[in-house]
């Protein structure tokens, strides 16, 4: 639509624009709900004429697209044009979700997954442009803490009901069609968003870094070690997300989605309980301890046979993630020069996408050749390696 020029925009105060943030959080919830339904994607792939060794690519390409395109498109979005792109991204997501039912083989599915990944990049990056415009300078940690919880909620609510939805609706592709319909709620929500927030002065101006500056970031050993540790953390996180359902069935546990419910409850619980305490601990020790705890959890998961042990490990793993993720993000912030903070924070987000590409791509091979227990031993090993990288930060920190 037309870009509205606010006549009497109120000065941006240090409080949140509550209504706008609520709307944006609702849209964020819908965007991430579109991802949490893919907890059952691996099971769905078994019903198609596709070689199991290729499953990893079909799962991972979604994040590979994000990895390539997010840095390219995000500089173009600003609070003035983001509304339009949120609508475009939502339409593309709805089309992609509907197209899964038409895809029959590897190549058609790869195409649909890629388009869906692109839709999510547009929707997600445009959303971030608006959210950043609504967050006052001095409340950023709090706002991103809230945002991370909103992003996690779909993973708590949706995986456990997928099994029932699949039975009720008659198949996975019908769930995707249902969610394509639910995604349409984005349009009335964006319409509620107050036009004054499209004003130019809201949010810091987005200034890219030059090539020389980027290279100087990449010369900072501490940032590279941190990114390596985060990549390992997120890769094992992705392996659990995509292969847990298959593993649960393999050991005779049917409703595996409940594992993620407990894990996410652990993540959210730890963030609410500890919130600002993480800022007062030695973050290097805290992050390393969390990764060692996760490694232990994965070793036990590889041995798990009873539902009791399986599900309680969900809570354990969730608490590990709930500590590690915010603490790593805090370390990135602490160890970056202020002008590199936006770039490095984005680099951290890229590690998340990279982990969700590398993890499943490797995981598809590991499960096809070695089975599930080997997969969780790989997760444990990568967590220990991440702990090692984190501890080695000490020798590089003045």
To the question of pTM greater than 0.85 for the whole model, the response is no
Of residues 394 and 89, the one with the higher pLDDT is 89
Q: What is the pLDDT of residue 176?
A: 93
Cα–Cα dist 185/188, whole Å: 6
Q: What is the pLDDT of residue 73?
A: 82
User: What average pLDDT does this structure show over 149-178?
Assistant: 88
User: What average pLDDT does this structure show over 218-226?
Assistant: 84
Of residues 282 and 237, the one with the higher pLDDT is 237
> Token digits for 239?
């392996």
pLDDT digits (tens, 9 = 90+) for 35-58: 889 888 888 888 888 888 888 889
Q: What is the pLDDT of residue 220?
A: 81
Note the Cα 123 to chain centre separation in Å: 14
pLDDT at 15 over 70: no
pLDDT at 11 over 90: no
Q: Biggest alpha carbon distance in the chain?
A: 65
Confidence band for 377, pLDDT divided at 50, 70 and 90: very high
Q: What is the pLDDT of residue 94?
A: 95
Q: Please enumerate, as own/partner, the contacts of 7-15 that have beta carbons within 8 Å and a separation of 24 or more.
A: 9/196, 9/199, 10/196, 12/136, 12/201, 12/202, 13/136, 14/136, 14/137, 14/138, 14/139, 15/136
Give CA angle at 190 (185, 194), nearest 5°.
Answer: 145
Q: What is the pLDDT of residue 203?
A: 40
pLDDT at 296 over 80: yes
Of residues 22 and 11, the one with the higher pLDDT is 22
pLDDT digits (tens, 9 = 90+) for 111-146: 999 999 999 999 988 888 888 777 766 666 667 777
> Quick count: other Cβ atoms within 10 Å of Cβ 308?
9
Q: What is the pLDDT of residue 398?
A: 57
Q: What is the pLDDT of residue 145?
A: 72
Residue 281 makes CB contacts below 8 A (sequence gap 6+) with 327
pLDDT at 200 over 90: no
Give CA angle at 271 (268, 275), nearest 5°.
Answer: 155
pLDDT at 184 over 50: yes
The pLDDT > 70 percentage for the chain reads 86
For residue 6, give Cα distances in angstroms to 2, 24, 189, 201. 12, 20, 20, 11
pLDDT digits (tens, 9 = 90+) for 308-339: 999 999 999 999 998 888 888 888 878 887 77
Three-class secondary structure of residue 361 per DSSP: helix
Q: What is the pLDDT of residue 368?
A: 87
Q: What is the mean pLDDT of the chain?
A: 83
Quickly tell me which residue has 């995707």 as its tokens. Answer: 176
Quickly tell me which residue has 């730890």 as its tokens. Answer: 270
Q: What is the pLDDT of residue 140?
A: 63
Give the total residue count for the chain. 398
């Amino acid at each position: 639509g037309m870009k509205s020029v606010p006549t009497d925009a109120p000065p941006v105060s240090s409080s949140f624009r509550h209504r706008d943030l609520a709307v944006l959080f609702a849209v964020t919830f819908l965007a991430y709900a579109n991802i949490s339904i893919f907890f059952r994607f691996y099971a769905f792939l078994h019903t198609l004429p596709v070689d199991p060794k290729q499953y990893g690519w079909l799962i991972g390409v979604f994040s590979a697209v994000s990895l390539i395109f997010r840095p390219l498109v995000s500089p173009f979005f600003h609070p003035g044009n983001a509304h339009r792109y949120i609508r475009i991204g939502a339409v593309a997501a709805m089309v992609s979700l509907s197209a899964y039912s038409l895809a029959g083989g590897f190549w058609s599915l790869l195409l649909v997954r890629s388009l869906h990944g692109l839709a999510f990049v547009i929707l997600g990056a445009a959303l971030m442009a608006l959210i950043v415009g609504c967050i006052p300078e001095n409340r950023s940690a709090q706002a991103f803490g809230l945002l991370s919880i909103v992003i996690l909620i779909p993973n708590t609510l949706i995986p456990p009901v997928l099994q029932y939805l699949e039975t009720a609706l008659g198949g996975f592709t019908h769930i995707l069609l249902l969610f394509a319909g639910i995604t349409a709620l984005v349009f009335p929500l964006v319409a509620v968003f107050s036009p004054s927030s499209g004003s130019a002065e809201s949010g810091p101006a987005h200034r890219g870094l030059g090539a020389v500056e980027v290279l100087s970031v990449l010369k900072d050993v501490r940032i590279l070690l941190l990114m390596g540790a985060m990549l390992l953390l997120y890769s094992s996180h992705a392996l659990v997300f995509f292969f847990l359902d298959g593993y649960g069935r393999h050991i005779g546990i049917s409703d595996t989605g409940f594992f993620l419910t407990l894990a996410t409850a652990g993540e959210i619980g730890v963030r609410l309980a500890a919130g600002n305490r993480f800022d007062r601990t030695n973050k290097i020790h805290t992050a390393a301890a969390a990764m060692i705890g996760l490694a232990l959890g994965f070793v036990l998961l590889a041995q798990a046979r009873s539902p009791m042990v399986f599900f309680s490990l969900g809570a354990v793993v969730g608490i590990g993630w709930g500590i590690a993720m915010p603490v790593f993000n805090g370390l990135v912030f602490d160890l970056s020069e202020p002008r590199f903070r936006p770039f490095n924070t984005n680099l951290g987000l890229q590690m998340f996408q990279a982990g969700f590409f590398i993890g499943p791509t490797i995981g598809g091979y590991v499960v096809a050749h070695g089975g599930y227990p080997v997969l969780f031993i790989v997760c444990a090993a990568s967590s220990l390696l991440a702990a090692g990288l984190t501890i080695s930060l000490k020798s590089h920190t003045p």
